[in-house]
Amino acid sequence: MRVPAEWYLVVALMLFVIGATGLLIRRNILVMFMCVELMLNAVNLTFVTFSRTLNDISGQAAVFFVLVVAAAEVVVGLGIIVAIFRRRAEATADDVHILKG
């Protein structure tokens, strides 16, 4: 008897909601970025769960591509954050409301 798929989906839902709430609450750009990673992982968990429920490999293939895109996104996003913080001292998101070069 395996664990029913609904339990995994509830865990993924909780993870996604925690990540989304953290994205709205936190002001530190790095921590907001980590919250985006939490939401991506929640979606990955639902992909794998549906892959097992529907007996279909394409869910796992989708997770594979999400992993690659997440890695690229982290690289570019952290590069942008470093480029911004070279010019400004504050680490809060409200301070970068003027995107002037």
- Binding to another protein (CB under 8 A) within 34-53 occurs at 34-35, 37-38, 41, 44-45, 48-53
| 6 versus 100: smaller Cβ distance to another protein | 6
User: Of 68, 98, 99, 100, which lies in the binding site for another protein, with binding defined by CB under 8 A?
Assistant: 68
Number of residues interacting with another protein: please give it, by CB under 8 A.
Answer: 71
User: Of 17, 98, 99, 100, which lies in the binding site for another protein, with binding defined by CB under 8 A?
Assistant: 17
Site for another protein in 72-91 (CB under 8 A): 72-76, 78-83, 85, 90-91
Six-digit token pair at 26?
A: 């936190």
Give 15-77 as a DSSP string. HHHHHHHHHHH--BHHHHHHHHHHHHHHHHHHHHHHHHHTT-THHHHHHHHHHHHHHHHHHHH
* Cβ atoms within 10 Å, residue 32: 19
Only one residue has tokens 């865990």, namely: 11
Instruction: Note whether 60 binds another protein by CB under 8 A.
Output: yes
Q: Considering the complex, what minimum distance in angstroms separates the CB of residue 100 from another protein?
A: 14
